[in-house]
Amino acid sequence: MPRSLLLFDIDGTLMITKGAGSRCLHRAGKIVFGEAFAWADITVGTLDPQIFAELAAHNGIGEPANYYERFRDTYLAELEAELKRIPEDITLMPGITALLDTLYPRAGAGGDVLLGILTGNFRAAAVMKLRAAGFDLERFPVTAFAEDGRTRNDLPRIAMTKARTLACAEIPPEQVYIIGDTPRDIECARANRCVPVSVATGRYTADQLRAAGGELVFQTLEDPTPLLTRLG
C-alpha cells in the first residue's frame, strides 16, 4: 500500500521549454485582441486562468470572461505547434531522469509511493509538454491541473482525493511531497500541511526558496538523497 505521494510541478522542475509557454500566451493575446496586446510581468507559479486574468487586466480588457475560452483554445493550438517546432529547446532538469528511474519501481503495483503531477498548466498544455519531453504519463496517475481549482492552494486537496481513490487508503498530508521551483509551490504545500520540496532550477535561488519556507531545498535533484531518506 502506498505510504507517500510525490507531486511534481512541470515547468522549471521536471523540464523547461525555454519560454515556449510565455511566447504562445503572448501570441494568443495578439491573435485574440490585436497587435497592441502587451506582455506583463506575470506572477510565477499561478494557474493559467489566473495568468490570463493578469494579462487581461494589464491590457485593460473589459469583460475578460467573454474571451477566456477563445484565448485558451488559441494558446493551446499555438503551444502544440511551437513544441513541434522547437524540440531542441525541450530540456529535462538535472537529475530528474535518474530520480524517476529510482522511484518508478517503487510506484508499481504493491509499491510504497504514488507519483503525480501538480501544475498550474491547463490539462492539455501539461500533457503536450510532458509528451514532448518523453515522459510516460501513465507513470503519474495522480494529477491536479489548472482547471481543477481556483488557486494553486486548491490543487493538493484534489490530488490527495484522487490518491485516496487509487490507493484505497488515506495518505496523510505529512507524507505528501510537493516538488516545485517557486514560492507558490511552497505556499500550496504549507497551506495543505504537505511537505514542500524545492529545487532551484527555475527563477528562484536555493536561498530564496529556503526563505520562503522550503523544507527540503535542492540546488538540483542530481543528489536527491535527503528526499529518498525521508521516503524510507
* Averaged pLDDT, 8-33: 97
Pairwise CA distance, residues 201 & 96, whole Å: 11
Pairwise CA distance, residues 29 & 16, whole Å: 22
Residue position matching grid coordinates 484565448: 71
Which among 7, 1, 2, 3 has a CA at the least distance from the CA of 194? 7
pLDDT > 80? residue 65: yes
What's the topology of domain 20-88? DNA polymerase; domain 1 (1.10.150)
* Percentage of the chain lying above the pLDDT 90 cut: 93
Pairwise CA distance, residues 156 & 193, whole Å: 10
Quickly list DSSP for the chain: ---EEEEE-SBTTTEE-TTHHHHHHHHHHHHHH-TT-----PPTT--HHHHHHHHHHHTT-SSGGGTHHHHHHHHHHHHHHHHHH-GGG-EEPTTHHHHHHHHGGGGSTT-SEEEEEE-SS-HHHHHHHHHHTT--GGG--EEE-GGG-SSGGGHHHHHHHHHHHHHTS---GGGEEEEESSHHHHHHHHHTT-EEEEESSSSS-HHHHHHTT-SEEES-SS--HHHHHHH-
pLDDT tens column, 83-113: 999 999 999 999 999 999 999 999 977 899 9
pLDDT > 80? residue 131: yes
Question: What is the location of CATH 1.10.150 in the chain?
Answer: 20-88
Which among 114, 169, 113 has a CA at the least distance from the CA of 144? 114
Band (pLDDT 50/70/90 cuts) for residue 168 is: confident
What's the topology of domain 4-16+91-231? Rossmann fold (3.40.50)
pLDDT tens column, 149-167: 999 999 999 999 999 998 8
* Averaged pLDDT, 76-89: 97
Q: 174-207 burial, b for 16+ CB within 10 Å, e for fewer?
A: ebbbbbbbbbbbbbbbbebebbbbbbbbbebebe
